[in-house]
Amino acid sequence: MEILKTIIFFFTFLLFQTIQARNECPSRFCGKNQFAIRFPFLLQGHQPQNCGYPGFNLSCTSQKPEVVINIPDSGDFLVGDINYMIQEIQLFDPNGCLPKRLMSLNLSSSPFTFTYSQNFTFLSCPIDLVMKSRLTTIDCLGNSTASVVATSSMDHVKAMNMCSTIVSMPIPVSWPHRNEWLAFDFKEDLRLTWDVPNCVDCESKGGICGFQNSTSNQTHCFIDTITGQSRGLQIFRIIVLSIVIPAIMCSIIISCFLCFIGRRRHVVVSAPRNGTAAVAPQTPDTTIIGLDDSTIESYTKVILGESRRLPGPNGATCPICLVDYDPKDIIRCIPQCEHCFHSDCIDEWLRMNGTCPLCRNSPSPSRPV
């Protein structure tokens, strides 16, 4: 399997390399971040200007590799993830106080917008009042004398008449929150979307958007390059699967077939073998690497009882013929490793192989009878 992995990696690498050579704006990564930075985003200073759409500049922080976006009038945010399929960017505050940033968020000069927003009121309340209630406070906004809570309920605001309103404004939320009496704490990242450029169709077809050429401002869907990659990979996977699966199926069928033949032959030869000791081996060609009948006969043979419990480290299924053991089945066990099998199956196997099929231990061929 290691070899297979290496081959797959090698092929992926090769395909990827050829795609990269054809794509003028390859994806960029900021350190070990998981997500790719590509059109409409641009990693500033690492890509030519025509690789990104205006307003989508990103940069890398140097100390700890993290992606930063500057939203005009609202400052820098760290980027948690970019979903190109649904055109969504996930942002959080470098100082860990997103509510503070939301209170001054102004997206009017940026390409970003939000799917849902809800009117929230931020209230500054005396700290002892909040301590007595079960309100969720926004700790990073509070101080030693005042706690800050946010609520989407006007009733809530009216009831909290000891508090002063800081600001009341629409706040982007990932889904509308019910007007619960409990206040909201903004623990989740800020999710923003963009409408222009619209690359949803292109992405869903497996393509990547980009400007048509370095002088044009028309977007174009570069679909053939990327599907070339995924189609190539798919074909490769199909080839691998079409080799591996038949190989496994073949080996199962062959072992079952051997087992079946062995059982039938056993039935046919068992009568003369019991009568006369001088029966010639049924498969003389294979006795060279296998064991002779007298050695095989010297191994313990048991008849299974109603409990079907086998001696030693054995399961409920014969590993050679993959059939469950039944009461009264004749079982033969290999003395060195105590592995047991249907007598019909293991006898035929040992005549050809001479080793335990499970652990490959070689029973001594010169074992005295």
Ligand X SMILES: *[C@@H]1O[C@H](CO)[C@@H](O)[C@H](O)[C@H]1NC(C)=O
Residues of the shown chain interacting with ligand X in the complex, contacts defined by CB under 6 A? 42, 44-45, 49, 57, 73, 106, 108-109, 119, 124, 143-146, 170, 212-213, 215-218
How near is the Cβ of 242 to ligand X at its closest, in Å? 42
Helices 223-275 & 2-22 angle (0-180, nearest 10): 160
Nearer to ligand X among residue 143 and residue 366 (C-beta): 143
Q: Please, are residues 69 and 79 in contact by the beta-carbon 8 Å criterion?
A: yes
Measured distance CA(189)–CA(98) in Å, rounded = 8
Cβ closest to ligand X, residue 106 vs residue 115: 106
- Residue 146 CB, nearest distance to ligand X (Å)? 4
Which lies closer to ligand X via its Cβ, residue 124 or residue 355? 124
Least distance to ligand X from the beta carbon of 55, Å? 7
Closest CA to 56 of 213, 195, 174, 215: 195
Q: Which is nearer to ligand X, 170 or 272 (CB)?
A: 170
Work out how close the CB of 109 gets to ligand X at its nearest, in angstroms, rounded to a whole number: 4
Closer to ligand X at the Cβ: 144 or 366? 144
CA distance 163 to 129: 9
Q: 76's torsion region: left (phi>0), alpha (psi -120 to 50) or beta?
A: beta
The residue among 218 and 274 lying less far from ligand X, judged by its C-beta, is 218
What is the closest distance, in whole angstroms, from the C-beta atom of residue 169 to ligand X in the complex? 8
* Closest to 166 measured CA to CA, from 102, 255, 252: 102
CB of 147 to ligand X, least distance (A): 8
Which among 52, 101, 99, 55 is positioned nearest to 76, based on CA atoms?
101
The DSSP line for 317-367 is B-TTT--B--TT-EEEE-TTT--EEEHHHHHHHHHH--S-TTT-----TT-
